[in-house]
């Protein structure tokens, strides 16, 4: 196959991205070749800035441009409620729901003894320090509903409850717009147990 080397290399690098197969990588590379110079410049600058301009917030470890993230800097947020999440992407997801107006704490992962993730490699120490410095009265655990998320939630609940803080976990149940027929039995089971009186 006589494919031009710069194209070959670009396809290989794009192919390393999650969810980008060989065919998509080739389509993207060929699209960029045909794109206007200014668009490609804008794209490359934007991607470069992800590495240059973004850092982790000094307080909550959310993605931030400055020392403290937008949410930590805002005086419109409820300073007494803390939502604990796994990754910065979870902050984005919860913000989109518009149902939470408190602060966040991003753990940077979940406990996973098998892959060597212990409490020390997560931002748990910093979390405990926040309870000393800040006036937090309620914690919402919003970790993923899988085994590791559950384990980490239980671990954190045990750690936080003795501090006299109200601890809750986001509900499990049928997703809105979902179909009972296609839901797995574990989800239906949880939804049954956690049924709400009308």
Residues of this chain that bind its own copies (CB under 8 A): 1-7, 9-10, 12-14, 16-20, 24, 26-33, 37, 39-40, 42-44, 46-54, 63-65, 69-71, 74, 87-89, 92, 95-96
81-85 and 63-64 strand pairing: unpaired
Return d(Cα 32, Cα 163) in angstroms, integer: 55
SS3 of 182, please? helix
In the complex with its own copies, the residue whose CB is nearer, 47 or 196, is: 47
Note whether 61 and 106 are within 8 A (CB): yes
Q: Count other C-beta atoms under 10 Å from residue 137's C-beta.
A: 13
Q: Is 103 exposed, middle or buried (0-12, 13-18, 19+ CB in 10 A)?
A: buried
- In the bound complex, what is the minimum distance in angstroms from residue 93's beta carbon to its own copies? 9
CB of 68 to its own copies, least distance (A): 12
CB of 154 to its own copies, least distance (A): 26
Nearer to its own copies, 3 or 198 (CB): 3
Cβ proximity to its own copies, 77 vs 190, nearer residue:
77
Among residues 38 and 197, whose Cβ is nearest to its own copies? 38
């Amino acid at each position: 196959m006589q494919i031009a080397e710069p194209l070959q290399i670009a396809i290989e690098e794009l192919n390393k991205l999650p969810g980008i197969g060989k065919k998509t990588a080739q389509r993207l590379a060929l699209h960029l070749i045909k794109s206007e110079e200014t668009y490609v410049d804008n794209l490359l600058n934007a991607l470069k800035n992800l590495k240059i301009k973004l850092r982790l917030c000094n307080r909550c470890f959310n993605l931030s441009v400055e020392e403290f993230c937008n949410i930590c800097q805002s005086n419109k947020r409820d300073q007494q409620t803390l939502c604990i999440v796994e990754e910065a992407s979870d902050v984005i997801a919860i913000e989109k729901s518009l149902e939470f107006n408190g602060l966040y704490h991003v753990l940077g992962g979940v406990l996973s003894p098998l892959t060597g993730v212990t409490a020390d490699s997560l931002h748990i120490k910093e979390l405990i320090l926040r309870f000393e410095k800040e006036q937090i009265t309620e914690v919402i655990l919003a970790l993923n509903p899988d085994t590791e998320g559950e384990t980490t939630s239980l671990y954190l609940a045990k750690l936080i409850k003795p501090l006299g803080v109200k601890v809750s976990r986001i509900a499990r149940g049928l997703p809105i717009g979902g179909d009972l027929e296609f839901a797995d039995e574990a989800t239906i089971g949880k939804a049954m147990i956690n049924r709400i009186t009308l």
